[in-house]
Amino acid sequence: MSLHPEVESMLKVLDAGFPDVTTVPPAELRDLIRSRRAPLQHLPAMRDVHDIGIEGPGGDLALRIYRPDHPEDGIPVVVFAHGGGFVFCDLDSHDEFCRSMAEGVGVVVVSVDYRLAPEHRAPAAHEDVYAALEWAAGNITAYGGDPTRIVLAGDSAGGNLAATVAIAARDGGGPAVFGQALFYPVIDDDFDTESYRKYGSGYYNTTKAMKWYWEQYAPEGTDDPRVIPTRADSLAGLPPAVVITAELDPPCSAGDDYAQRLADAGVEVRHRRFDGLFHGFLTFPSLSLTEPARQEIWKMMRSLFE
């Protein structure tokens, strides 16, 4: 395969420098990954950023609320769940991405610092994101957001959480969800798909790592739709979806398939696979291909509100 030179170079750096997650205890892994981050730049600038705590299912739940420099109140809202294999990452790891989304889509973003595995196994993270959705529906007006236009979003493991919370809100009579935006989502634990077979090693995210993440998050099984969205009896009646996948990502085939399953169930779907790109590419703003991709995705998300 002929890769874009920047992609090829970045994959070499990532493969050489990212730790083998299966060999490091989770607490040490989080510290190690956190230590390699560049200092936060707090860019793009926001009109307001609030760090707050709410009462969650497992105790205090931290949220970070981003309000872009928008002249009007009552703008749409995105409740966002970060990636990190259900095991690592936090509000700071996705700070720049959430700011860019808030600015680019024109939304208030509520980023959720959900509980991490293996200390808190499934469905703890799912329950925390659901609690954040309920909080936003009842309180986001005070931060300039419109509680009738809430989109659930997430990247990687966060995409799983956004998808499963959308199903839970539908089935449990929860807050109305206006849309869902799933960025290279981790949909299931099928490791024998085409993308796993083709891209399971050498492309930053690996089959070995993905198996380990699932072992940390759901060691007691994945038959629950709060863990894997395709375990739901039906996908009909779910909110419109933006589904983004990356060709070189082991979970790509499952994400593509989920987009098709949603469409087959009558859900309005905007699906885009970015060929030649890898898992997590949207959170690497130094890659020249990232910003054009973001702009395309922000436009797809804006269309959810039009």
Q: Using CA atoms, how far apart are residues 205 and 54, in angstroms rounded to an integer?
A: 33
- The three-state (H, E, C) secondary structure of 70-89, written as one string: CCCCCEEEEEEECCCCCCCC
Catalytic residues: 156, 249, 279
Report whether 84 contacts 209 (CB < 8 A).
no
Per the structure block, which two tokens stand in for 259? 């987009």
Nearest 5°: CA angle at 38, between 66 and 296? 50
User: End-to-end CA distance of the chain, in Å?
Assistant: 39
Q: Using CA atoms, how far apart are residues 251 and 18, in angstroms rounded to an integer?
A: 19
- Tell me how long the chain is: 306
* Residue 51: burial class (beta carbons within 10 Å; 0-12, 13-18, 19+): exposed
